[in-house]
Amino acid sequence: MAWSLDDTIVAIGTPLGEGGIGIIRVSGPEALGVLQRLFAPHRPPPEGQAWVPWRLTYGHVREPESGALVDEALAVWMPAPKTYTRQDVAEIHCHGGLLPLRRVLDLCLQAGARLAEPGEFTLRAFLNGRIDLAQAEAVVDVVRAKSQQGLEMAVGQLAGRLSERVGAVRADLLTVLAHLEAAIDFPLDEIPPCDRVALLTRVGQSLDQLLAGAEQGAVYRQGIRTAIVGRPNVGKSSLLNALLQSDRAIVTPIPGTTRDTLEETVVVGGVPLILVDTAGITEARDPIERLGVERSRAAVAASDLALLVLDGSQPPTAEDEAIAGLLSERTALVVINKCDLPPAPGAERLLAGRPCVRVSALTGQGLPELEQAVLEAILAGRMQADEAPLVSRPRHVDALRRAREQVAAALLAAEQGWPDDCVATDIRGAVAALGEITGETVSDDLVARIFADFCLGK
């Protein structure tokens, strides 16, 4: 796929809806011309003088042909290369209603710009060398961050922390590769010494360090799908409301109030939990209830963590036993609810060996202990880094693992005295895999898939 950088693109850069300010962003060689056609400064520059760059200018958006007033606005022109895309960029800051934004956008299109594709502004920043591919992906992660830790991780990647580490590793590999290729091409010449084994060992250790934090990074970036399951009327919806500190789910004494799954996100210890409140899993009688139970089972199957909620004031029932059986092979916690009532024995024996926490969704008792147990279950076995992890995206993890495998093969070949061209082949594979992260060796199709995930205007 080929991308044109010669045309001028435009998009709404702020979310649609009512707001105080909405921004129209224009990028390309005709950005200033588009701006001048429809924006009239309150105080026009003296005749013969150009538009002053980098300065917000007060004025009005008007229809070019009729001169009809469209909106009161501020505008700024930013000449290349010191812009987000490294092209000429113009922005119009108008009122944030849907109609004024769409009207100004239409005028920009009539003035010669075309509607930008999703992520095309950031794509141009990448193609023009302002950012690499890992930094471009971090733009989306900053926008979609669900926790402070996730935001810190994304901002670090946007600042180039991951790219710097990957670049340093790739540079070491290129040093070894250059030495090998010189030895292959000039076998009779005296080649300066290079400790290949030591360098490859160091590279392997660096890749291991990057991969060690990948699971924790994925948790902070994507969150953990947490299914709240149990039979009807044990307090699943009440527990959801208590964790959210909001009356999100309807709660009544009538069993089976929840007929469908309900999703909400809460941040616990920096980890986003996508809580899924499910219908009570039971032998359903009517078709609607059966559909709710089927969706509950599907939610359990798709979850990373399950909270088995039991009524601590009653002995476990056959339904409780059956639901516990569904969770026997899954990461799960036992939540014994209604601890503010007189306890009934037997709940602890379900899912024996799994963490068990007594709570009261009504009073809030035990919720801090439950949150701590959830964190321990989520982060068990994962590296606890002092700083935000560098790696979080599956694409980066896959490339790092392939590079690690190639480095291990090259190290083994070097230690066993294999021919230089065999060692060089493995190193080339590792260099190419690392280049996929920052974009040096990435295909056009992959670039297109990455930027298709962006929102319009970014």
CA atoms within 13 A on the CB side of 238: 25
pLDDT category of residue 64 using cuts at 50, 70 and 90 = very high
Q: Which residue has the higher pLDDT, 297 or 280?
A: 297
Structural domains present in the chain: 9-132 (3.30.1360.120), 137-213+390-438 (1.20.120.430), 220-379 (3.40.50.300)
The pLDDT of residue 123 is above 80: yes
The per-residue pLDDT for 299 is 74
Question: pTM for the full model?
Answer: 0.83
**181, burial (CB in 10 Å: exposed 0-12, middle 13-18, buried 19+):** middle
The predicted-structure confidence for 146-187, as pLDDT tens digits, reads as follows 888 889 999 999 999 999 999 999 999 999 998 888 878 776
Confidence grade of residue 255 (pLDDT, cut at 50, 70, 90): very low
pLDDT, average across residues 254-279:
73
Quick: pLDDT tens for 285-334: 555 455 656 666 777 887 889 999 999 899 888 888 888 888 888 888 99
Task: Give the mean model confidence (pLDDT) for residues 414-418.
Answer: 88
State the average pLDDT over residues 25-46. 92
The pLDDT assigned to 257 comes to 45
Output the pLDDT for position 393. Answer: 92
Taking 70 as the threshold, does the pLDDT of residue 259 lie above it? no
- In the predicted structure, residue 351 carries a pLDDT above the cut 60: yes
pLDDT at 376 over 50: yes
Q: What is the pLDDT of residue 444?
A: 86
Question: Comparing C-alpha atoms, which of 128, 6, 27 is closest to residue 457?
Answer: 27
The total of other beta-carbon atoms located within 10 Å of residue 52's CB is: 12
pLDDT band, very low/low/confident/very high, at 26 (cuts 50, 70, 90)? very high
**How many angstroms separate the first and last alpha carbons of the chain?**
20
Nearest to 33 by CA among 1, 72, 77, 73: 77
User: On the CB side of 93, how many CA atoms lie within 13 Å of its CA?
Assistant: 10
Averaged pLDDT for residues 393-415:
95
pLDDT at residue 124 in the model = 95
pLDDT greater than 80 at residue 230: yes
Taking alpha carbons only, the member of 376, 371, 367 closest to residue 235 is 367
> Inter-axis angle of helices 161-185 and 196-212, to 10 degrees?
160
Residue 317 gets which letter from DSSP?
-
pLDDT range class, residue 346, cuts 50, 70, 90: confident
209/454 Cα distance (integer angstroms): 29
**pLDDT of 283:** 55
The pLDDT tens digits for 65-106 are 999 999 999 999 999 999 999 999 999 999 999 999 999 999
pLDDT digits (tens, 9 = 90+) for 133-148: 999 999 999 998 888 8
**What is d(CA 246, CA 27) in angstroms, rounded to the nearest whole number?**
43
C-alpha–C-alpha distance, residues 88 and 126, integer Å: 15
Q: What is the mean pLDDT of the chain?
A: 86
**Average pLDDT rounded to a whole number, residues 265-269:** 86
